[in-house]
């Protein structure tokens, strides 16, 4: 529920409202049906994002927040903060997001960053395998 609590509030399906920390201009409403399994989404900045979801919340983004990807309610971005329902191996399966976060952190700390080229061929094989098994 961390992504959900980065928003303004999370309303459980039992009617309880949990206050969020308001990083994202968003709120989440819990549902009765869980969404579980591999998922593939498209992001203008990061290309194809591969991950695993397990949640029942539906998150609604406000004007101050842009979607992470085109799949409904799968994530949000504000500046260098990325929030998503995707679990586990999000960063290893999506090196463009990992590289972006590393670069943003290094630039903030050191003022500049020049990445070295990394062989992502094994990552691409893992991504291809996960994309063949969507929920």
Q: Give me the pLDDT at residue 8, please.
A: 95
CA distances from 8 to 22, 58, 120 (A): 4, 13, 37
Q: How far is it, in rounded angstroms, from Cα 119 to Cα 89?
A: 18
Give the angle subtended at the CA of 7 by the CAs of 4 and 9, to the nearest 5°.
Answer: 80
Distances (CA, A) of 67 to 26, 60, 71, 111: 10, 10, 9, 27
**pLDDT for 19:** 96
Q: What is the mean pLDDT of each run of 10 residues along the chain (135 residues)?
A: 87 93 92 84 85 85 85 69 74 84 92 89 84 69
According to DSSP, the β-strands at 47-61 and 81-84 are unpaired
**Residue at token pair 């203008």:** 44
Q: In this predicted structure, what is the pLDDT of residue 109?
A: 93
74: left (phi over 0), alpha (psi -120 to 50) or beta: alpha
């Amino acid at each position: 529920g961390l992504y959900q609590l980065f928003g303004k509030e999370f309303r459980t399906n039992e009617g309880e409202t949990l206050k969020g920390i308001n990083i994202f201009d968003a709120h989440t409403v819990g549902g009765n049906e869980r969404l579980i399994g591999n998922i593939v989404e498209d992001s203008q900045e990061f290309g194809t994002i591969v991950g695993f979801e397990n949640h029942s919340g539906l998150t609604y983004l406000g004007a101050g927040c842009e979607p992470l990807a085109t799949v409904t309610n799968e994530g949000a971005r504000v500046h260098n903060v990325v929030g998503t329902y995707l679990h586990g191996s999000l960063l290893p399966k999506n090196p463009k997001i990992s590289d972006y976060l590393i670069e943003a952190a290094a630039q903030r700390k050191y003022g500049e960053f020049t990445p070295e080229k990394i062989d992502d061929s094994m990552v691409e094989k893992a991504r291809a395998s996960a994309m063949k098994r969507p929920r």
